[in-house]
Structure 1
C-alpha cells in the first residue's frame, strides 16, 4: 500500500533558544508544534507568525504529515519520504511523534515536493486550514 502524506497549509518556523530557555510565547498552536532541548540549545517548532521578532528562526515551512498511526516497528518510512527528494534538491526537517512522522518542507518548495512524491507513487492530499487554536 502506498504511503499517504497530508499537507497542511499553515506556515511554520523553527526557532532557536539558548539551552534550558523556555519559550515565552504561545508556541503550541497549529497543526504541528514541538519543543526539543539538548545541552546546547532549545528548538521550538510552531506557527511562524507566533515567533516574536528578534528570536533566531528559520522558515517558513509547511508541515507534511504521514497518515497514521504508524507501527513502532515500521521500517523505511522516512527513506520512502526523503529518498525522492534528494535528486530534486529539496531539504526538509524530519520529526516524529508517538503516532506518526512529519516533515517540514520549505514553503516555496511544497508544490515541487508533492510532484516528486506523486511521481514516486505516494498519495498526497491537502488538509483544511486547522486554525491557530488547534490541530
Structure 2
C-alpha cells in the first residue's frame, strides 16, 4: 500500500455490514433481457458491456442451467464514501487476499460492496476484524 492509501485507511476505520441473503452472480449474453427469475435482494446489479451482461441477484431462483456462481454473501462498507477517496478497496481486499478468499466487487455511487463465497464469509469477517475493521449484521432498511 502507498503512504497515501495507508493514511486514508488509518484515518477512517471502516465498518462493514453483512447481509443475510444468498446471492448469485450470473453471466448472460451481451444485450440479454433481465430474466423473470432474477429476483431483487439487498443488492441487485446489472452490468452490461459489449461482450456480456452480468447480474447480481438473489440466488434462490437462478436456474441450474444458467452460468453462475453461488452461494455468495454480500458485505457493504457503511456510510457514504467520497468518490475521491484512495485505497478503500485495497485496504479491504488485501486481508481477504492474504486469507485466500476470492471476491466479487461492485461499487455504487455511495459505497463499495464485496461478495464472497458464503462458506468463507466468517473467515472474511475475521480477516477484516484482524485488520481493524468492524463487521456487523446489516440493519434492515
* TM-score, structure 1 as length reference: 0.90
- Which whole-Å CA distance do the structure 1 matches of 2:46 and 2:39 have between them? 9
Q: Counterparts in 2 of 1:1-135, with a 5 A limit?
A: 1-25=12-36, 27=38, 29-128=40-139
CA RMSD, 1 decimal: 1.4
Higher strand content, 1 or 2 = 1
The answer to whether the Cα contact below 8 Å between 2:39 and 2:61 also exists between their aligned partners in 1 is no
Q: Once structures 1 and 2 are overlaid, which stretch shifts more, 20-29 or 58-67?
A: 20-29
Structure 1 stretch displaced more, 26-35 or 89-98: 26-35
Q: Which runs of 5+ in 1 are unaligned?
A: none
Secondary structure of residue in 2 paired with 1:10: coil
TM-score (norm 2): 0.87
Shift in Å, 1:28 = 5.1
How far did 1:26 drift? 5.1
Distance 1:15 1:25 in 2: 13
What SS does the aligned partner of 1:9 have? Answer: coil
User: Offset of 1:53 from its aligned partner?
Assistant: 3.7
Does structure 2 conserve the Cα–Cα contact (< 8 Å) formed by 1:25 and 1:52?
no
Determine which structure has the larger helix proportion and give its number: 2
List gaps (5 residues or longer) in structure 2: 1-11
Shift of residue 27 of structure 1? 3.0
**Deviation per CA, 1:76-125, whole angstroms, max 9, x where unpaired?**
11011101111110010011001100000100000001001001000111
